Amino acid sequence: MTNVEERPSVLVVDDEPRILDSIRDLLSENFDVVATSDPLAALEILNGAQFAVILADQRMPGLTGDQFLVRAQNLSDATRILVTGYTDIDALIRAVNDGQIHTYVPKPWEPAQLRVTVLKAADHCRETLRRKEAASRLAEQQAALARSEAAFRQQTKLLQSILDSMGDGVLVVDENGKMVLLNPAAEAMVGRAAFETPHSAWSESIGIYRPGTGTLYPPEELPLSRAMRGETADGVELHVRNPRHAGDLFVSVNLRPLKDDDGRSRGGVAVAHDITGRRRTQELLQRAKEEAERANRAKSEFLSRMSHELRTPLNSILGFAQLLEMTSLPSDDAEAVAQILKGGRHLLSLINEVLDVARIEAGRLSLSPEPVHLPEVIQEALDLVRPLALERSITITGLSGNSDFWVKADRQRLRQVLLNLLANGVKYNVDGGRIAVAVDPNGYGAIRTTVSDTGPGIAAEEREKLFLPFERLTGESLAVEGTGLGLALSKGLVEAMGGVIGVDSTVGKGSTFWFDLMAAESPAALHPELEGLAGADSGEAAARSVLVLYIEDNPANMALMKRLTETRPGVQLIGAPQARLGLDLARVHRPDLILLDLHLPDMSGHEVLEQLRRDPDTGTIPVVVVSADATPEQVDRLLDSGAQSYVTKPIDIGSMLGLLDSVLSDPIENRLPTANRSDAG
C-alpha cells in the first residue's frame, strides 16, 4: 500500500457491501481505501501491507469488530476505529481505555464527522509511527553505547594490567601539573606522596638530582615539566635518592606531551627505566679500565726507566770489550771477549726492543710518516738478511713485476718491521728453505707487503697471540734464539703508521706475514711544478756560490731537494743520510746552510742541532729544520734550541726556493728571515 506519510491507506471491514461502498466514496478523496466484508480476509491483508487507519464494523458474522481489532493490533500500527451503534457503550469505552481501539464511530454516522475522525486517526498513526521509530533509534543508540562502554571497560582493564605489570615507571600529569597516574613501578620510585606534592616541589620532596653533580634537579627542567611544555625527549637521566631506596636510584626517562584532538596540551607523560644496575656496571668497568691503564702505564714507565738504566752500564761493557778486542790477546781470552761482545750486543738489542714496545704502549713513539719508496726499503732489508739466509742455504726471492709503490710510512720503522719479518722467515725456516717477498695494491688505497716462508707454519689458535710481547711458540721453535718481542713491536709500529698487520699460515707448509700501509704519491709527483723550473733563472742570486748540507735519511726527500737545488746553479748540495756523518760533514765543510730532518737512524735531529750549536766550528751556521712533525710544542722546542727556521713536509717548493734565494743573495749575518713560530705551527 502507499506510504502513510504521503497518501495514507485505510482498511474498511464491514459485512454490508452498501456501507463499504459509501465509506469508500466518502474517504477516497484523501485516502487509498481497501474494503472487505470478511474480517478473516482483512487479517490476511494486514499481514502484507501497511495501513494508517482500520475501520471495522462491530457486528459481523464470524468475528466481531472488537475481536477483529484486537487481533489487528498485533499485525499493524494502524489506528483502529470501531463503527458501532450505542447499544454497548460501556464495553466500547473500556476498549478505548484499554487501548484495544483508538476510538469509535457511532452508527448512523455523520459523513463529515466520519471523515474528520479518520483524518485525525491517520494523524495519530503517523505520530505513533514517528514515536516508535524514535524509540527504536534511541534503543539502538543505547545498545551501541552499552557496547562501547563494555569495550572501553575491557580496554581500560587491559591497559591497567599492562601498567601494573610494567617494570618501567609510568607517570602522567594533567595540564595543571597535577599527578593523575602512577603505575606501581613509578610509585616504588617516587612514592605515593607524588600525588599530594605539587610538581614544582618534586625535586626537593622526592630527592631528584642531576646525575654526577649532587645538585637538585631544577623543577622546570624535570621531564614532566618539559613534557607539559610540549617537549619530547628520550634518555634523560635522573638520580633519585630518598629513604624509600636503600641505595641510589638512577633512571633514564622518555618524555612526551599529551595533547587532545585539537592539539591543546592536556599534560605530559614520562616513562622511567631503572638503569641503576647498568650504571653500576659501567662505573665498575670504567674503574677497572682506568686501573688497567694506570697499571699498564706504570709497567711501560718501569720498563722504559729500566731500559735506560741498563743501557748506561751496558755501554761501558761493550765499549771496554771492544777496546780489549783490539788488543792482541791470548786466544782463550779473545774468545771470552768475543762472547762478552756477543752477549752484550744481544742484550742491547733486547733493551732497545723493550724500550720501543714500552714507548708504543705508552703512546710515546715519535714517528715521521712521509712518502717512502717501498721497493727501496725492501731492498735494504733484504741486503741485511741475505748473509743470514745464506748461512742456512735459504733462497730469497725478491720483488718481481710492478712493485714501484710509495707508501705513507716512517722509513726507519718500516725497515725495522721488514727486518723483523725477514729475520723470522730465516730463523723459523728449514735449512735450504725459501722466502718470497711481494707487494701488491689491495684496491682500497693500501699497499700490501707479504713475506712468505717455508717454515713449520703456525696453528690458527696461536696466530693472534704471537703479536703480544714475549709470546713465543712452544716446541721446536723455542730452540731458536729470540725474545718474543719482534712481532709485538712490528704490530705496534705498523699500527702507529696507520696500517694493519697479520699472518696466514698452513701448518707444515709455511707462513705468510703481511702488512698493509696507505699508498702515497711520490714526492716528485706531488711537485709537478718542478718540471717547469729551468736552471739558472735567478741571475742576480747566481753571482754567489753557497754550500748547503742536507741531513736526511729518506732518499726520496734527498732526491727532491737535489732537483730543487739544481734550479739554482749557485747552490751546491751535499747530503748525509745519517746524523753522525752530517755532523762530520758540517765540521769539515762549514756549509752556508744546514737543512735538518728530525727522524734520523742514529740520533734525533734535536740532538744534532744541539751538537752543532755547541761546536764552535758549526755554532753559527744557520740550521733550518725540515720535518713532517709540526706540532707547536715540537716547533717551539727546536726554535728555542737555536734552529733558524722550520719548514714542514711536504715541502712547499716556492718557499724552499725563496729560502735558498735569500741565502744566495744576502750577507751571511742576516741571510735568513728570523724564525716565525706561527708559520711552522
CB of 458 to ligand ADP, least distance (A): 5
Question: What distance lies between CA 259 and its chain's CA centroid?
Answer: 32
Does 453 engage in binding with ligand ADP (CB under 6 A)? yes
Q: Does the protein bind ligand ADP through residue 450 (CB under 6 A)?
A: no
Shortest Cβ 494–ligand ADP spacing (Å): 13
466 binds ligand ADP (CB under 6 A): yes
Judged by beta carbon, residue 267 or residue 455, the one nearer ligand ADP is 455
Please report whether residue 502 would count as binding ligand ADP according to CB under 6 A.
Answer: no
Q: Which is nearer to ligand ADP, 346 or 364 (CB)?
A: 346
Binding of ligand ADP at residue 486 (CB under 6 A)? Answer: yes
Give 424 or 627: the residue with its C-beta nearer to ligand ADP.
424
42, 418, 485, 585: which one contacts ligand ADP (CB under 6 A)?
Answer: 485
- Contacting ligand ADP (CB under 6 A), which of 76, 424, 449, 644? 424
User: Which one of 19-27, 202-210, 423-431, 622-630 is the stretch in contact with ligand ADP (CB under 6 A)?
Assistant: 423-431
Of these, 31, 406, 428, 646, which contacts ligand ADP (CB under 6 A)?
Answer: 428
Under the binding rule (CB under 6 A), the answer on residue 582 touching ligand ADP is no
How does DSSP classify residue 519? B
Q: Is 645 in the site for ligand ADP (CB under 6 A)?
A: no
Distance in Å, CB of 342 to ligand ADP, minimum:
16
The reply on whether position 665 binds ligand ADP by CB under 6 A is no
Q: Which helix (H) or strand (E) holds 315?
A: helix 276-326
b/e sequence 305-314, b meaning 16+ C-beta within 10 Å: eebeebeeeb
Nearer Cβ to ligand ADP (488/635): 488
Contact status: 79 vs ligand ADP (CB under 6 A): no
Distance CA 189, CA 353 (A): 57
Quick one: which segment of 22-30, 123-131, 476-484, 602-610 binds ligand ADP (CB under 6 A)? 476-484
Spatial CA neighbour of 226 closest among 255, 196, 190, 184:
255
Cell numbers given for 535: 736552471
Q: Is 265 in the site for ligand ADP (CB under 6 A)?
A: no
All residues at 6 or more sequence positions from 259 whose CB lies less than 8 Å from its CB, including other chains:
230, 265, 266
Under the criterion CB under 6 A, does residue 458 sit at the interface with ligand ADP? yes
Residues 594-613 that bind ligand ADP (CB under 6 A): none
Which residues is 356 bridged to in the sheet?
Answer: none
What number of residues does the chain have?
681
Question: Shortest gap between Cβ of 651 and ligand ADP (angstroms)?
Answer: 36
CA angle 78, 84, 89 (to 5 degrees): 105
Which amino acid is it at 676? N
User: H or E segment at 288?
Assistant: helix 276-326
3-state secondary structure 155-216: HHHHHHHHHHHCCCEEEEECCCCCEEEECHHHHHHHCCHHHHCCHHHHHHHHHEECCCCCCE
Contact flag: residue 482 with ligand ADP (CB under 6 A): yes
Nearest to ligand ADP of 249, 503 (CB atom): 503
Is residue 455 close enough to count as binding ligand ADP by CB under 6 A? yes
CB 189, CB 242: distance < 8 Å = no
> Could you say whether residue 483 binds ligand ADP (CB under 6 A)?
yes
Stretch of 232-240, 466-474, 565-573, 649-657 lying at the interface with ligand ADP (CB under 6 A): 466-474
Stretch that binds ligand ADP, among 93-101, 212-220, 486-494, 649-657 (CB under 6 A): 486-494
Helices marked H in 2-110 — which ranges?
A: 17-27, 39-48, 65-75, 89-97
C-alpha cell at 673: 728571515
Beta-carbon count within 10 A of 246 CB:
6
Q: Does 487 bind ligand ADP (CB under 6 A)?
A: yes
Total of residues contacting ligand ADP (CB under 6 A)? 20
Q: What are the b/e assignments for 206-224, b being 16+ CB within 10 Å?
A: bbbbebeeeeebebeebbb
User: C-beta of 413: minimal distance to ligand ADP in Å?
Assistant: 15
- Structure-block grid coordinates of residue 105: 464511530
Element (H, E) at 324: helix 276-326
Question: If binding is defined by CB under 6 A, does position 276 make contact with ligand ADP?
Answer: no
Q: Does 300 bind ligand ADP (CB under 6 A)?
A: no
**Shortest CB 656 distance to ligand ADP, Å:** 41
- For CA atoms 106, 112, 118, 123, the dihedral sign is negative
Nearest residue to 273 via CA among 302, 231, 220, 235: 235
C-alpha cell at 593: 746552510
DSSP assignment, residue 531?
A: G
Q: Among 54-62, 375-383, 480-488, 645-653, which window interacts with ligand ADP (CB under 6 A)?
A: 480-488
Find all residues with CB under 8 Å of 29, minimum gap 6, and list them. none
350 binds ligand ADP (CB under 6 A): no
**425 is a contact residue toward ligand ADP (CB under 6 A):** yes
Closer to ligand ADP by Cβ: residue 479 or 534: 479
Chain residues that interact with ligand ADP, rule: CB under 6 A: 420, 424-425, 428, 453, 455-456, 458, 466, 472-473, 477, 482-488, 511
